[in-house]
Structure 1
Amino acid sequence: MAASEDSFKEKLTNSLTQQLSEYELLKSMYPNNDDIILTDTNILVDITNFVENESETEYTPGHLDFILNLNIDGSKLEVSVNLPSFYPSEEPDLYVRCNQLNRYQETTLNAELSNFLKENFVGEVCIYSAVSWLQDNLPKFTEQLANRASAYIIPESKCTDDDKFVRLWIYSHHIYNKRKRDEIESKAKDLNLTGFCLPGKPGIICVEGAGSDCKEWWSIIKSMSWKKIVIKMTETFEISEKEKEQKFHKFQEIHFPSSSVRSKHADMSGLSKYMDEHGLTEIFKNMFGISEI
């Protein structure tokens, strides 16, 4: 047991050491206070103490999560970065937002960046490489994609007919990144969808609304960089049944009071109770393979 714990800590220490080194490189390149903004201002101290073995508790530091603000040829980019504990062995969670791009250009940019990193930097630090790729490739999105943007909609065979009332149940390996969470919620509200997002590991999302709107929302969200994200279940109703079948009246990110502030894991017990309250007990059991004994 002790050997296993030592191996875990050695692997984690090595990962976090590489993360600190890469972060310091970025800080040397972008030294202004508003260039890099940490989500948790204490995280660097926590990670450093862990790496230097100064922490006397069993506490494992949280994720290094920050916003990198870039200006490339007059275009302002906000790069949301979330590094899993074992990055670079695990893939980083990146999402780029640029006000100069429309929704489809932005979605395409993130999809191509994700593919570039997966194809070239598995197991290697890659945030600076991502920045370099953005510097080299952003012009083609701002200049060449304008005429193609309106045509860029990813087909989704699992989404149902446009004239139906649809509820999608979506499972992700994890949802940590604040920018992604904001996008999940803002896109749902833009399309008049209702439901919820439970961040953590795993991440659970429910969206309900017109089939065409659900399809558009899913095409945008699934094109972000994810370790795994799938539609686990689809419920379909006639549009005339909407008033009876709709379970939510707005879209929101949900949290539960019993959850640990430090925990990165989703509160499944809280989710079970939440779904019970909305008349979705059977859906919860079906999603997670729970059967009556």
Structure 2
Amino acid sequence: MSASTGNVTDDFVGCLTQQLSEFELLKSMYPNNNDIVLTDNKSLDAIQNFLDNPTEYTPSHLDFTINLFIKELKLEMCINLPSLYPEEEPDIFIRCNQLNRHQETKLNYELSNFIKTNHLGEVCLYDAISWLQENIEIFYASSGVTEQNTVNEETADDNIKDRNYVRLWIYSHHIYNKKKREEIVKKARELKLTGFCLSGKPGIVCIEGHNCDCYEWWKDIKSMNWKKIVIRKSEDFSAPQNKFVNFEEIQLSMTDFSKYMDKLGFSQTFNELFGLINDK
């Protein structure tokens, strides 16, 4: 292992150690079996094994859901931690069936802004939960508004949508099912999103477009029955930064997919998707 690789591995060890400590703290706060649900039950063991015997390949991201009850609302706090969290920001998405799509989108937009503004390279999941506890009523209170207020709310959300764009990189254990593949493409095209779906094992999806449209697509696709599907990386833009002209399904070997990503200028993203260390 080169010196540079060793230094990067040390960074991963430090970050993953903090992740396990924070996860244990959250488990002590929410001790019931269904309070915190891991996407992959083996992920904690994989991280601990890496910490016991560090290698140049990092384990899969820690991905889990915290089921919260705040102000009569049932919230699903879906969390995906990059390997270098807390140095990097966490990926958090809130789902709540008691909020409409506009309310839910606005909630996630404001939570994302809170994290971006306050994240200082330290663990922050409890801070995010505290923010939800303090602010959720702002979004829930509008559920009983008048028709005029609803129009105003939708206009405000449209303004958010018009000035915010994202590119989401989704990793799935596999994408084989014909119905799921058709739905991924159909929904993306309905919302005029661009990107691709790499079918096979693992499955990779890149989706780009308006913030609201991308997260509407993600909400629908994630609700399908998956062994594992997570957002590995999200990129935010103030203006469109589309790398693709449409949305299509592709079928490539991992070698060809690596070349495909390199040609598009996404070599670093390829490494992040698969937890590879770039020791340049």
Q: Is the TM-score greater than 0.5?
A: yes
Mapping of residues 142-221 of structure 1, within 5 Å: 142-144=140-142, 146=145, 147=149, 148-151=152-155, 152-154=157-159, 172=167, 174-176=169-171, 189=187, 192-193=190-191, 197-198=196-197, 204-205=206-207, 217=213
SS of the aligned residue for 2:85 comes to coil
RMSD: 4.3
> CA offsets, 1:32-90, max 9 Å, x none?
1111111111110010111122x6x6442110011111111211111111100100111
Kept after mapping to 2: 8 A contact 1:171/1:204: no
d(CA) in 2 for partners of 1:41, 1:204: 26
Pairwise CA distance, 1:173: 6.9
Q: Which consecutive unaligned segments of at least 5 residues does structure 1 have?
A: 160-169, 208-213, 236-245, 249-253, 261-265, 273-284
Pairwise CA distance, 1:268: 4.8
Instruction: Please tell me whether residue 8 in structure 1 is matched to residue 12 in structure 2.
Output: no
Higher Cα radius of gyration:
1
Mapping of residues 12-91 of structure 1, within 5 Å: 12-53=12-53, 58-91=56-89
d(CA) in 2 for partners of 1:187, 1:72: 35
Poorly superposed stretches of 4+, deviation over 2 Å: 144-152, 154-159, 170-178, 185-200, 202-207, 214-222, 224-231, 254-260, 266-272
> CA offsets, 1:158-184, max 9 Å, x none?
99xxxxxxxxxx973744599xxx9xx
Kept after mapping to 1: 8 A contact 2:168/2:207: no
Counterpart residue identity of residue 66, structure 1: F
Query: Could you say if the C-alpha distance between residues 255 and 38 of structure 1 is closer, same or farther in structure 2, counting changes exceeding 3 Å?
Result: farther
d(CA) in 1 for partners of 2:43, 2:142: 40
Counterpart residue identity of residue 267, structure 1: F
d(CA) in 1 for partners of 2:206, 2:36: 29
Q: Which residue of 1 aligns with 2:236?
A: 228
d(CA) in 2 for partners of 1:188, 1:106: 23
Kept after mapping to 2: 8 A contact 1:78/1:96: yes
Pairwise CA distance, 1:9: 1.3
Tell me the TM-score normalised to structure 2 length: 0.66
Identity score, percent? 41
Q: Which residue of 2 aligns with 1:107?
A: 105
> CA offsets, 1:194-247, max 9 Å, x none?
7764489x963378xxxxxx897269679x994435432586xxxxxxxxxx98
Pairwise CA distance, 1:4: 1.1
d(CA) in 1 for partners of 2:185, 2:23: 31
Kept after mapping to 2: 8 A contact 1:77/1:98: yes
The structure where helix makes up a greater share of residues is 2
Tell me the TM-score normalised to structure 1 length: 0.63
d(CA) in 1 for partners of 2:163, 2:137: 34
Per chain length, whose mean CA-contact separation is higher, i.e. which structure has more relative contact order (CA < 8 Å, sep 6+)? Answer: 2
* Aligned positions, number: 232
Kept after mapping to 2: 8 A contact 1:68/1:78: yes
Pairwise CA distance, 1:149: 2.9
Q: Which consecutive unaligned segments of at least 5 residues does structure 2 have?
A: 174-179, 219-230, 267-280
